[in-house]
Structure 1
Amino acid sequence: MFHRAITAAAISAAFIMPAAAHHDGDIFEANGIVVSHAHTVEVSASAHSMDVFMTIENTTDTAVTLTGASVDFADSGIFQAPSVSDSGTMSVREVSALEIAPGQVLTMQPSGVHVVFHNVQEAFEGGDHFHAHLTFDGLGEMEIEVEVEHGDHDHDHDEETS
């Protein structure tokens, strides 16, 4: 258990970015926690899992631990993070919790730390929204809204198209 907590802390530290790096979008605040740009990408109706990404900022003076995520149309979310074996092989593995230090930002993104919901019982298309609940140890639940982005979205918010 101790090894798991240390590993989760190390993984989350690898994806902590300065506050200025987060994306614009809907912002949700509670108990000193700020969640922004919560999103997923539309998947086919036959897909039974959904990856969700977001930026979480801890504006408190103490570390906070994200321990759970849930929606009403799938199993409870799990946290996945990239992992490198001793031989250098890259894989993805489940982590039980994510700690965010005071004043730090955790950016969940593709190929990085993210939430996965399995056994998804509802189909969503680009432009849809749904509610999710994040659970923080000692702080309780926080409700956020997740935007479903079109599958061809390239995430380059700086370029303009004509």
Structure 2
Amino acid sequence: MHSILRSAFVALSLIAVVPAAQAHDYTAGDLKIDRPWSRATPGGAEVGAGYLKIENKGEEADRLTGGSTPIADALEIHSMTMEGDMMKMRKLDGLDIPAGGSVALKPGGNHIMFIGLKEPIEKGKPFTATLTFEKAGEVEVEFNVEGIGAKAPEGGHHDHGAMQDSEDGAMDGAMEEMDHHDHH
């Protein structure tokens, strides 16, 4: 009897997990958007950042041009690069998604900025955003929210190569410390 109940419980548990895992992937035309996530922000923060992976399964390049979200006044695409020993952030007009390729928006690299937050981004409280692409059009996605300083979504895969120089925590909080107002 216990083994039947245990089997039923395991089966129900797996069924409950499958829809949640699928909810992290979105499709817009030939584009697949994987695991949008953000970091929680401290109270009073005016900006937040979003991360995700975009895969282009089509034969034509596309371009992420921007979007909108109810949690902020603006949604922009930004890059971060090291110039000497300084991390520099710049607003981009768009981000190319090559045909048959993929682009990862992640901490320390290209990312989405939520400018003029209307409320703090809180861990465990997902929010929606609409991403706009030149060819694929608009797609609404849900950003899961991790803790302040998170380097990858919970249960996600961490790209150790991109962050190998941050073992000492030098990148932790870099987003929070930058003055984003200089980039408008």
TM-score, scaled relative to structure 1 = 0.74
Whether contact under 8 Å (1:77, 1:118) holds in the other structure is yes
1:18-68 superposed Cα distances (whole Å, 9 cap, x missing partner): xxxxxx971011211111110111111210101111111111110001111
CA RMSD of aligned residues (A): 2.4
Instruction: Report the 3-state secondary structure (helix = DSSP H, G, I; strand = E; otherwise coil) of the residue aligned with 2:73.
Output: coil
Match of 1:148 in 2: 145
How far apart are the structure 2 equivalents of 1:58 and 1:47?
Answer: 33
Instruction: Report the 3-state secondary structure (helix = DSSP H, G, I; strand = E; otherwise coil) of the residue aligned with 1:75.
Output: strand
- Within the alignment, does 1:69 sit opposite 2:67 as a pair? yes
- How far residue 73 of structure 1 moved from its aligned partner, in angstroms, is 2.4
- Pick 1 or 2: higher relative contact order, CA cutoff 8 A, min separation 6: 1
How far apart are the structure 2 equivalents of 1:154 and 1:141?
Answer: 27
Instruction: Report the 3-state secondary structure (helix = DSSP H, G, I; strand = E; otherwise coil) of the residue aligned with 1:107.
Output: strand
User: Which consecutive segments of 4 or more residues in structure 1 shift more than 3 A?
Assistant: 87-90, 152-159
1:106-117 matches, cutoff 5 A: 106-117=103-114
Whether contact under 8 Å (1:25, 1:36) holds in the other structure is no
Whether contact under 8 Å (1:81, 1:92) holds in the other structure is yes
More helix by percentage: 2
Structure 2 residue runs without a partner (length 5+): 1-21, 159-184
Match of 1:8 in 2: none
Structure 1 residue runs without a partner (length 5+): 1-23
1:15-26 matches, cutoff 5 A: 26=24
Match of 2:30 in 1: 32
1:70-124 superposed Cα distances (whole Å, 9 cap, x missing partner): 1012122111112466x78651111101111111111001110001111100223
Whether contact under 8 Å (2:40, 2:123) holds in the other structure is yes
Residue 62 of structure 1 aligns to which amino acid in structure 2?
A: E
Match of 1:97 in 2: 94
Residue 30 of structure 2 aligns to which amino acid in structure 1?
A: G
Among the aligned pairs, what percent are the same residue?
Answer: 26
Residue 147 of structure 1 aligns to which amino acid in structure 2?
A: N
